[in-house]
Amino acid sequence: MKKLITFALAATMLAACTNNPVPQNKSFMDLARQRYAVREYAQTPIGQTKLDSILEAGRLAPTARNVQPQHIYVLQSPEAIAKINELTRCAYGAPVVFLVCFDTDSVWTRNGSNSGDMDCSIVGTHMMMEATELGLGTCWVKYFDPEEVATAFELPANHKPSFLMPCGYAAETSKPSDKHFLRKPLSETVTYK
């Protein structure tokens, strides 16, 4: 018993030191309620294990015809982070920014439109919720010029940026915006027929 208490105490202290919450086996609904758009980040590194887990969650996402047209650039070098902060004010000083693109050569296309943004959104949602489970914050970001970003990061012509996702530990001062709490009732957004 004594050993167990010592172990629990040590685990709690380690978690506090690394800003890394002890996993709590939260349900999906708990995580969905916990998530909010984080716009202020600590500089604590995410660590490769968590990055791998977030990317793996994205890899498991469904895509049209299972083409998997996504290509994710993990911006984390000081140069890449400085560059993205010049291109958008919505990187919010995060230590990692995912630049989620789709491959225009392989994306499912029909009648002149393609599923690229939709595929990337599902991939991004998987990543966002896994980051939440890992105690990390994220923000979905559309506020950038895709062509400027593609040029600045010398992307191949077939990699079209869909969105950015800053990711990292939320700063201690971070809190949800007022908008976060405004959710329409289901009666306004759902119709049974």
> Which residues of the shown chain bind ligand FMN in the complex (CB under 6 A)?
36-37, 39, 90, 139-143, 176-177, 179-180
Least distance between ligand FMN and beta carbon 138 (Å): 9
Q: Are strands 159-168 and 113-114 parallel, antiparallel or unpaired?
A: unpaired
Nearer to ligand FMN by C-beta: 69 or 137? 137
| Min separation Cβ 143 and ligand FMN, Å | 3
Rounded Cα distance, 71 and 155, in Å: 10
Beta carbon of residue 176, minimum distance to ligand FMN (angstroms, whole number)? 5
Specify the residue for token string 């201690």.
172
β-bridge mates for residue 100, sequence order: 72, 163
Residue 15 or 121 with smaller CB distance to ligand FMN: 121
- For the bound state, the minimum distance from the C-beta of residue 175 to ligand FMN, rounded and expressed in Å, comes to 10
C-beta nearest to ligand FMN: residue:
143
Nearer to ligand FMN, 52 or 86 (CB): 86
Q: How near is the Cβ of 128 to ligand FMN at its closest, in Å?
A: 9
DSSP string across 35-91:
--B---B------HHHHHHHHHHHHTS--GGG---EEEEEE-SHHHHHHHHHH-TTS
Number of alpha helices (DSSP H) and beta strands (DSSP E) in the chain: 7, 6
Of 2 and 183, CB closest to ligand FMN: 183
User: What angle (nearest 5°) sits at the alpha carbon of residue 44, between those of residues 38 and 45?
Assistant: 100
CA nearest neighbour of 123 among 80, 156, 162: 162
